[in-house]
Amino acid sequence: MYDLIIIGSGPAGLSAAVYAKRAGLNMIIIEKNPVSGGQIIDTYEVDNYLGIPGVNGFDLAMKFREHADKLGAEFVDATVSGVECVREATDTQAPVYKVKTDNGDYEGHTVLLATGAHHSKLGIPGEEEYIGKGVSYCATCDGAFYKGKVTAVNGGGDVAVEDAIFLSRFSSKVYLIHRRDELRATKILQDELFGIDNIEVIWDSVVKEIKGEDKVTTLSVQNVKSGDESELNVDGIFVAIGIHPSTDLFASLVKCDENGYVIANEDGITSAPGIFVAGDSRKKRLRQIVTAVADGANAVTAVQDFLVGKEK
C-alpha cells in the first residue's frame, strides 16, 4: 500500500516524484514508455526553461529522471488500464485506490494523474495508412530520414514552426501549411522561420488527403478562402496540429472539461477525493515544462495536506 501512486513520467510526474521523496511519502511512479520525459524527449531544443537556454529536450528529460533516481524514486514499467476506488475517503480515513496495469495491480491512498497529452491527428484519408511511410508526428525523431527531400509541416503553433525550422536543415524544401493567415507560434520562432530560404508558408490552407504508393508522394491541399484545390508533391508530412489530453481512462473517475482536460486548480485537487492531477492533462491556460513541473510540486503539497490526520 502506497501513500501516492504517480501515473506518468513526464516533467509533471518526475517533479512530483522529487517532491514526494523529499516529503518522505511512500510512492511509486508508473511509466508506460521505455524512456522518461514525456513529450519533451521529442523536442530538439527547449529555449524557455529558466536557467538552461537552448537545452535539448531529451537531455533535459534525462536530468529530470536522474534527479528522481538520486532521491530513490521507484519506477514501475507498466501500462495503466484503469483506476478503481476500493475504499471511499471519509473525514478520518484515507481512501484506497487500485491502479490496474498490465504488470499487476497497485494500491495507494492517493493517485496523481500525470499522463500528459498526445499528438492530435488530422483524421483525413491516407493519414493512418501512411504512418511511418511519410506521415510523422515527430520531426526530431524522423527528420533525418528526409535529407535532400521535400517535406511539409501542417500546423501553425510552436511545434509546427519548430518542426519546419528543424526540417529545413535536412530537407531541400519545406512547406508549412497553415489554415489561417497568421501563425499562433511565438514571435521569436516566427522571425526565425521567415528568415529561412527553403521554407515556404502556404497560408489559409488545409490538407484534405495524403496520397502515395508505397510511401507518401502527394498532398491534396485546399485553400479555405478561395476553395481552390491543388496537389503538392512531397516525400513526407509532419502533422503538428496540437495535442489531446491522455485522460480517456479517467473520464468516469474525475470531472473533465469538454476537451477531456481534468478540471482542477493549481493544487491539482480533482472532483474525486484522493485523486490529483498535474501537467498537460490538467485544464489550464499554459502547457509548458515549467508549468508541468510546478503542477507536480503543488499537487504533492496538496497530497500531503490531504493525508494529514487521516487513518491509513
Gap between the terminal Cα atoms of the chain: 9
Site for ligand NAP in 4-43 (CB under 6 A): none
Least Å from the CB of residue 35 to ligand NAP: 18
Exposed/middle/buried for residue 6 (C-beta within 10 Å: 0-12, 13-18, 19+): buried
From the list 20-28, 77-85, 235-243, 246-254, the region that binds ligand NAP by CB under 6 A is 235-243
* Nearest-angstrom CA–CA distance, 278 and 292: 6
Taking a C-beta distance cutoff of 8 angstroms, is the pair 6, 14 a contact?
A: no
Pick from 111, 193, 241, 302 the residue near ligand NAP by CB under 6 A. Answer: 241
From the list 61-69, 148-156, 262-270, 291-299, the region that binds ligand NAP by CB under 6 A is 148-156
Least Å from the CB of residue 183 to ligand NAP: 7
From the list 30-38, 73-81, 155-163, 263-271, the region that binds ligand NAP by CB under 6 A is 155-163
* Nearest-angstrom CA–CA distance, 62 and 40: 10
Pick from 156, 268, 279, 296 the residue near ligand NAP by CB under 6 A. Answer: 156
From the list 1-9, 17-25, 128-136, 237-245, the region that binds ligand NAP by CB under 6 A is 237-245
* Nearest-angstrom CA–CA distance, 234 and 253: 44
Residue nearest to ligand NAP (CB): 157
Site for ligand NAP in 169-188 (CB under 6 A): 179-180, 184
C-alpha cell at position 11: 516533467
C-alpha cell at position 115: 499522463
Least Å from the CB of residue 239 to ligand NAP: 9
Least Å from the CB of residue 206 to ligand NAP: 6
Site for ligand NAP in 38-97 (CB under 6 A): 46-48
Pick from 18, 29, 160, 165 the residue near ligand NAP by CB under 6 A. Answer: 160
Q: Would you please indicate which residues are annotated as catalytic (active-site) residues?
A: 138, 141-142
The size of the interface with ligand NAP (CB under 6 A), counted in residues, is: 22
Pick from 7, 240, 292, 293 the residue near ligand NAP by CB under 6 A. Answer: 240
Angle between helices 289-307 and 11-22 (to 10 degrees): 40
> Applying CB under 6 A, does 121 fall inside the site for ligand NAP?
no
Interface residues with ligand NAP (CB under 6 A)? 46-48, 122, 154-160, 162, 179-180, 184, 206, 240-243, 287-288
